[in-house]
């Protein structure tokens, strides 16, 4: 077993069972004019982590370890979009409305796309998910089984919503999860801080956290 220095204690892993999961690094959440900005959020917090996420991606690719990307998006006919989700809050643009980057969070629209700097390579798995968690109404669980992945490193946005939801879902299914602290972000810094504390509390009740440097050092030494 190899190890990654982490909190609350080192994360032991087998390289052949490891995969990276990059959550929802999409234009609609990271760019001005997108859905995140329409909710009044400072999207510069999201774009700030792009170089770190890219470095993590490149490290996994260089090590020959699998990478999975997720995208939060819906069908054009709203058949997978509950009214309770579309009508939540008071955004200036709702999911499915036409915005500066096309219809918001609809499959195939420009704003729904993953940021160019973090674009999936041919052969990398891309999960189109209608919910906050990556397991709901997707092939994610089957893909992980096919890869033989049992230990997951997470990056992406937002820490307390889609990232933490997917980590909790994975934890309930028996996966060991580690979150790269500096490769995830929230629009609200206090929410990120709280989510990290919740994840690693009580002896890693949901999972571990570590820096990108610690993750990359661990996989390079494995």
- Respond yes or no: is residue 54 known to be catalytic: no
Architecture of domain 2-221: 3-Layer(aba) Sandwich (3.40)
User: Can you give the pLDDT at residue 105?
Assistant: 97
- pTM for this prediction: 0.98
Is residue 129 part of the annotated active site? The answer reads yes
d(CA 140, CA 138): 5
Whether the Cβ atoms of residue 169 and residue 134 lie closer than 8 Å to each other = yes
Q: Is residue 73 annotated as part of the catalytic site, yes or no?
A: no
209: left (phi over 0), alpha (psi -120 to 50) or beta: beta
Give the residue carrying structure tokens 């906050």: 132
What would the two tokens of residue 11 be?
């994360």
Torsion from C-alpha of 198, 37, 44, 113, nearest 10 degrees = 90
- Catalytic-role residue among 129, 132, 182, 192: 129
How far is the C-alpha of 54 from the C-alpha of 52, rounded, in Å? 5
Which sign, positive or negative, has the C-alpha torsion 87, 89, 191, 202? negative
CB distance 185 to 152 below 8 Å = no
Each domain of the chain, given as residue ranges in start order, spans 2-221
pLDDT of residue 170: 98
Residue of 24, 28, 132, 177 marked catalytic: 24
| pLDDT tens by residue, the chain, 222 residues | 999 999 999 999 999 999 999 999 999 999 999 999 988 999 999 999 999 999 999 999 999 999 999 999 999 999 999 999 998 877 778 999 999 999 999 999 999 999 999 999 999 999 999 999 999 999 999 999 999 999 999 999 999 999 999 999 999 999 999 999 999 999 999 999 999 999 999 999 999 999 999 999 999 999
Catalytic residue, candidates 28, 73, 132, 162: 162
Please give the span between the terminal C-alpha atoms of the chain, in angstroms, as a whole number. Answer: 8
- pLDDT of 10 reads 98
């Amino acid at each position: 077993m190899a190890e990654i220095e982490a909190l609350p204690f080192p994360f032991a892993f087998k390289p052949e069972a490891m995969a990276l999961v990059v959550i929802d690094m999409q234009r609609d959440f990271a760019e001005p004019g997108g859905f995140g900005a329409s909710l009044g959020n400072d999207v510069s917090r999201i774009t700030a982590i792009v170089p770190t996420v890219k470095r993590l991606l490149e490290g996994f690719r260089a090590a020959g370890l699998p990478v999975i990307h997720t995208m939060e998006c819906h069908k054009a006919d709203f058949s997978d979009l509950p009214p309770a989700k579309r009508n939540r809050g008071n955004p200036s643009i709702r999911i499915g409305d036409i915005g500066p980057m096309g219809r918001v969070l609809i499959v195939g629209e420009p704003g729904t796309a993953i940021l160019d700097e973090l674009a999936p390579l041919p052969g990398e798995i891309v999960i189109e998910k209608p919910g906050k968690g990556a397991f709901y109404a997707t092939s994610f669980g089957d893909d992980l089984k096919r890869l033989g992945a049992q230990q997951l490193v997470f990056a992406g946005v937002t820490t307390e919503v889609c990232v933490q939801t997917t980590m909790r879902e994975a934890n309930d299914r028996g996966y060991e999860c580690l979150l790269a602290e500096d490769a995830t972000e929230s629009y609200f810094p206090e929410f990120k801080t709280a989510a990290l504390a919740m994840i690693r509390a009580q002896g890693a009740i949901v999972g571990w956290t570590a820096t990108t440097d610690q993750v990359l050092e661990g996989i390079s030494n494995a």
